[in-house]
Amino acid sequence: MKKSLFIAAILLAACSQDYTGTSVQMTVELDTTYTTIGSPISYLITVQLPQDKIVKFPEWVLEDPLEIRSSEFSTSGLEYIGRYEIVFWDTGKVVIPGVAITILNMDSSFAYDMTADTMFMEVVSITEQDPSFKQSDGGIMPIKDPVPVRIPLPWQTIILSILLLGILIAIGLIWKKRLKADVFYEERPEYLKEPDIIALEKLDNLDQSGLLEKGEIKEFYAQLSLILREYTENSLYIRTLEMTTEEIRENRPAFPYTDDQIASYFKILSGADMAKYAKHIAALDQCSQDMVSSRNIVKETIPYWKFDSIS
């Protein structure tokens, strides 16, 4: 007896289990069953799905005399809601075919299709005042009150126009207040001594300073580089005292020197940079050779700036 009661209890519990969590339910609603030509109605479809399924609403295309005016889709938990706005363009009993939806698995693979039931709609003409088909002897339906029309403002165009106007005003103000730069051309300075004479005297003083005998190679090249840069600036009016060796090299076209002269010029400046910044110690023979090359550069480049020296 107890065994029979236990089996019966198991069967009742099994029969009372809810299987709605594994099934798909689809309901379709219309907001009305009567309408007039050109008046839209709402076609609402609600689909309840289990957690392992998703729904894909179709691009519903209807043939005359039906027209899909708009569509909107949303979700709420496990419910998928599709709203279609349908317009009718003929009178009488019109058939609304069932919409077909596609059920997909969670990986978006196809599961199966479902089609809603066909529905019917009574469509009356605009001359019938009552949608319940009570005739009014051909009377025209009451004229509806006018609906105010809101003209959308082109906010994006307005904002961009204001910004453009502000930029133009700012440019105008800056243009009026800008400082006009006065350009002054340097006149050729008058020297008590010519640049070549000054450079050669300084080279003689450097040669007799005894820096090489003391092993002060860095100081020797620092003064040698300064003498050559000063000579170039005073003779050609190129700001070599304010330029690095690399900047001087980039402005090679501004120098009227020959290729051999400019190569010797850059060699001395590069050697001076190595001694000053890379702590390179050049041999005494190299220092003496650079001294001779510096004198030659000064003497050979005099015709490029002292025109009265050309005979």
Average pLDDT estimate for 255-274: 89
Amino acid letter for position 51: Q
Q: Give the span between the Cα atoms of 245 and 237, in whole angstroms.
A: 16
Fold of 195-309: Four Helix Bundle (Hemerythrin (Met), subunit A) (1.20.120)
Lowest average pLDDT, out of 71-75, 232-236, 268-272, goes to: 71-75
**3-state secondary structure string, 3-15?**
HHHHHHHHHHHHH
Give span(s): CATH 2.60.40.680, the chain: 21-124
Average pLDDT estimate for 138-149: 64
Rg (CA), the chain: 49
Give span(s): CATH 1.20.120, the chain: 195-309
What's the whole-number average pLDDT of the chain?
A: 78
Average pLDDT estimate for 256-281: 86
Could you tell me the pLDDT band of residue 19, with boundaries at 50, 70 and 90? very low
- Answer whether residue 205 shows pLDDT above 60: yes
- Answer whether residue 153 shows pLDDT above 80: no
Lowest average pLDDT, out of 103-112, 174-183, 276-285, 294-303, goes to: 174-183
pLDDT for the residue 296: 92
Lowest average pLDDT, out of 98-107, 141-150, 237-246, 290-299, goes to: 141-150
pLDDT in tens, 25-60: 888 888 887 788 878 888 888 888 887 888 888 787
pLDDT for the residue 161: 92
pLDDT for the residue 169: 92
Average pLDDT estimate for 133-146: 56
Lowest average pLDDT, out of 7-16, 34-43, 114-123, 230-239, goes to: 7-16
Answer for the pair 275, 221: CB distance below 8 angstroms, yes or no: yes
234 compared with 22, residue with greater pLDDT:
234
**3-state secondary structure string, the chain?**
CHHHHHHHHHHHHHHCCCCHHHCCEEEEEECCCEEECCCCEEEEEEEECCCCEEEECCCCCCCCCEEEEEEEEEEECCEEEEEEEEEECCCEEEEECCCEEEEEECCCCEEEEEECCCEEEEEECCCCCCCCCCCCCCCCCCCCCCCCCCCCCCHHHHHHHHHHHHHHHHHHHHHHHCCCCCCCCCCCCCCCCCHHHHHHHHHHHHHCCCCCCCCCHHHHHHHHHHHHHHHHHHHHCCCHHHCCHHHHHHCHHHCCCCHHHHHHHHHHHHHHHHHHHCCCCCCHHHHHHHHHHHHHHHHHCHHHCCHHHCC
pLDDT for the residue 184: 55
pTM, two decimal places: 0.39
Contacts of 55 (CB under 8 A, 6+ apart): 47, 49, 80, 101, 102, 103, 104
Give which of 10, 78, 74, 4 is closest to 45, Cα–Cα.
74
Could you tell me the pLDDT band of residue 275, with boundaries at 50, 70 and 90? confident
232 compared with 120, residue with greater pLDDT:
232
Give which of 209, 221, 200 is closest to 268, Cα–Cα.
221
Hey, which CATH number is domain 21-124, 3.30.70.20, 2.60.40.680, 3.40.190.10, 2.40.50.140? Answer: 2.60.40.680
Name the most confidently modeled range: 21-30, 134-143, 191-200.
191-200
Q: Give the span between the Cα atoms of 127 and 244, in whole angstroms.
A: 95
Could you tell me the pLDDT band of residue 87, with boundaries at 50, 70 and 90? confident
